Amino acid sequence: MRFWLGASFTPTDQYVELARAAERCGFDTFTLSDHIFHTDFASPYPYSDTGRPRWTAETHWPEVWVTIGAMAAVTSTLRFSPNVYVAPARDLFTVAKQVATAAALSGDRITFGVGVGWCAEEFAQTGQDFHTRGRRLDEMIPVLRALWAGGQVEHSGTHYAFPPLSIAPTPSKPVPVYIGGDSEAALRRAARLGDGWIGNRIYTEEQLDQVLTSLRRHLKDHGRDEDALDIVAPLAVLPDPATYRRFEDKGVTATLAAPWWLATPEERAAHPKGSLSLKLATMERFAEEVVARV
């Protein structure tokens, strides 16, 4: 079981120090979420009962690849992944160049966590069609892999077409592509195109079992082995080594954790809410009590 740090909603000035601490504490991958702007969204947020986002206009959403570049510069082994990057809200070549450059500068420590997104307003302001986002992502992923491999690439498809060209720099290793989302469309996409799957909510065991059953069915439909995908699942369990081992037996290869959400009363009393010191204290305890034992 590998542990990914989920750092969404974190103030921007904390990311670099959190990356140092994550590497020191034995986390495998540092994740951050992607949003372009805040507005009075008409699009319903799919992960709350009210349809309203859980954040405010003051919540920080630093640009993913700039932030990863800053964190990669102060670490040497920690991996980084968006959770997840809304690639079809951008043009193909912007995505290709951002990811390739981040991979090259970090020494190939990038996982490309990607999803279709839910916010039509962001697509409207970047000039991308919201309604074709799934089909465009399906076409985009193989093209990105070809561009990242280096050399001349040409493509003539439904949504993207270009003559022979190349980009540089390119990664020295393939960038793993992890598909986010638990809709049937997302699970099919992960089974067909992904190196891994990232859950987009905190799952009970029953909920995760249903997702895993669907993933295995889609993998079989596409002629892939059950263990072809890494499974990254945030789990609705108290941190306990035995519990994580049980989920590992189910096929979960990594889980997301934000230890400060489970701060003890003593930790909350000793550190201001949302502070860097609270995050560091809870990460260190999590590393001792869970990561080192799993």
- Determine the angle formed by the axes of helices 133-148 and 184-193, rounding to 10 degrees: 20
Is-contact 272 11, C-beta < 8 A?
A: no
- Determine the angle formed by the axes of helices 15-25 and 276-289, rounding to 10 degrees: 10
Task: Look up residue 147 and give its two tokens.
Answer: 């561009």
pLDDT, mean of residues 174-188: 97
CB atoms within 10 A of CB 35: 18
Indicate if the pLDDT at residue 49 is higher than 90.
no
Chain mean position to CA 211: 17
Torsion of CA 127, 186, 57, 99, to 10 degrees: -60
Which pLDDT score is estimated for 272?
A: 97
Residues 30, 35, 39, 40, CA torsion sign:
negative
> pLDDT of 250-271, one tens digit each?
999 999 999 999 999 999 999 9
H/E segment holding residue 100: helix 92-106
Task: Provide the CATH number for the domain formed by 2-293 in this structure.
Answer: 3.20.20.30
Indicate if the pLDDT at residue 51 is higher than 90.
no
The SS3 assignment for 175 reads coil
> pLDDT of 57-96, one tens digit each?
999 999 999 999 999 999 999 999 999 999 999 999 999 9
Which pLDDT score is estimated for 226?
A: 87
Indicate if the pLDDT at residue 208 is higher than 90.
yes
DSSP per-residue string spanning 181-245: --SHHHHHHHHHH-SEEE-SSPBPHHHHHHHHHHHHHHHHHTT--GGGSEEE--B-S---HHHHH
In which residue are the tokens 């082995």 written?
Answer: 225
Sheet with 79-82: strands ordered across: 79-82, 29-32, 2-6, 254-257, 230-232, 196-198, 177-180, 112-114
Indicate if the pLDDT at residue 197 is higher than 90.
yes
> pLDDT of 128-170, one tens digit each?
999 999 999 999 999 999 999 999 999 999 999 999 999 999 9
CA distances, 168 to each of 97, 149, 195 (Å): 8, 10, 23
Q: What is the share, in percent, of the chain residues with pLDDT greater than 90?
A: 92
Residues 6 or more apart whose CB falls under 8 angstroms from that of 125 comprise: 36, 37
Is-contact 274 31, C-beta < 8 A?
A: no
CB atoms within 10 A of CB 47: 12
Q: What is the share, in percent, of the chain residues with pLDDT greater than 70?
A: 100
Q: Report pTM.
A: 0.96
Domain boundaries, the chain: 2-293
Verify cis geometry, omega within 30 degrees of 0, for the bond prior to 176: no
* Burial class of residue 182 in the structure, from the number of CB atoms within 10 Å of its CB (0-12 exposed, 13-18 middle, 19+ buried): buried
Which pLDDT score is estimated for 157?
A: 98
Which pLDDT score is estimated for 165?
A: 98
CA distance 33 to 29: 13
